[in-house]
């Protein structure tokens, strides 16, 4: 999906007022600067491409953070023409996995990279 035609201002608003707090809640006081940042984006469309990849496709980490996944899905679907995102319905499955998983270091690294991508998206023009 090409994110060039998204309404970046609206996405930025929803990120700054909602998604940012969900990401911060997930990190639970651990600073993203404690992790290595290896995922780069240089403009808003490419940031959203990486954000979508890290949020929906890369691993099971974010099953722990339903709010991040649901909110990101909602904002991309609302403000990116033709973007259909993912179906969020496996509530039961999600609950079972939640009990087994803990916030692993690998997940913290992933979410800290996600945080940095959103930050870059938010401060770029």
Partner 1 sequence: LFFDPEGPLQVQIINFNFKTVQVTWNSSGSPGANLTFSYSFRPNEGDSSCPEYILEDGHTVGCVLQAEGDGILSFSIRRGTRPLLAKSQWISSYLKPDPPGDLTFRWHEEAVTVTCSELPHKSLLYEIQYKSTFDPEWQAEEGRSCNVSIPGLDPDKCYFFRARARTMEAAYGPDTYPSDWSEVAHQQRGRRRDSCQEQRLFPRFVLIS
Partner 2 sequence: GESGYAQNGDFEDAELDDYSFSCYSQLEVDGPQHLLSCAFEDPDVNSTNLEFEICEGLLEVKCLNFSKLQETYFIKTKKFLLIGDSTICVKLGGKHITCQKMNIVKRVKPEAPFDVKVIYREEANEFVVTFNTSHLQKKYVKDLLHEVVYRLEKNENDWMHVNISSTKLTLLQRKLQPNAMYEIKVRSIPNTNYFEGFWSEWSPSSHFRTPENNSGKMD
- Interaction site with partner 2 (CB under 8 A): 13-14, 16-19, 21, 66-67, 70-71, 74-75, 78, 91, 94
Six-digit token string for 6? 């998204």
Contact set for partner 1, span 37-76 (CB under 8 A): 37-38, 40
Map residue 110 onto helix, strand or coil: helix
Out of partner 2, partner 1, none, which partner does residue 125 contact, by CB within 5 to 8 A per kind? partner 1
Q: How far is the CB of 73 from partner 2 (least distance, A)?
A: 9
- Could you tell me which residues come within 8 angstroms of residue 105 by beta carbon, excluding any fewer than 6 positions away? none
95 and 56 in contact (C-beta within 8 Å)? Answer: no
124 binds, among partner 1, partner 2, none (CB under 5 to 8 A by kind): partner 1
Shortest Å, Cβ 104 to partner 2: 22
Size of the site for partner 1 (CB under 8 A): 20
Single out the segment in contact with partner 1 by CB under 8 A; choices: 3-11, 54-62, 66-74, 112-120.
112-120
Picking from 58, 55, 59, 51, the residue whose alpha carbon sits closest to that of residue 69 is 55
Coil, strand, or helix at residue 60?
A: coil
* Residue 98 phi, psi dihedral angles, 5° rounding: -55, -40
Smaller CB separation from partner 2, 14 or 119: 14
Query: Would you say 1 or 20 has its CB closer to partner 1?
Result: 20
**Taking a C-beta distance cutoff of 8 angstroms, is the pair 7, 88 a contact?**
no
């Amino acid at each position: 999906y090409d994110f060039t035609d998204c309404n970046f201002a609206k996405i930025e608003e929803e990120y700054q007022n909602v998604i940012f707090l969900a990401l911060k809640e997930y990190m639970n006081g651990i600073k993203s600067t404690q992790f290595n940042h290896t995922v780069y984006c240089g403009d808003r469309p490419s940031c959203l491409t990486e954000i979508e990849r890290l949020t929906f496709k890369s691993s099971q980490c974010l099953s722990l953070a339903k709010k991040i996944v649901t909110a990101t899905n909602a904002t991309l679907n609302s403000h990116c023409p033709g973007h259909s995102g993912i179906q969020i319905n496996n509530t039961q499955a999600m609950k079972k996995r939640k009990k087994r998983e803990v916030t692993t270091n690998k997940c913290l690294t992933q979410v800290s990279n996600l945080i940095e991508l959103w930050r870059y998206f938010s401060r770029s023009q």
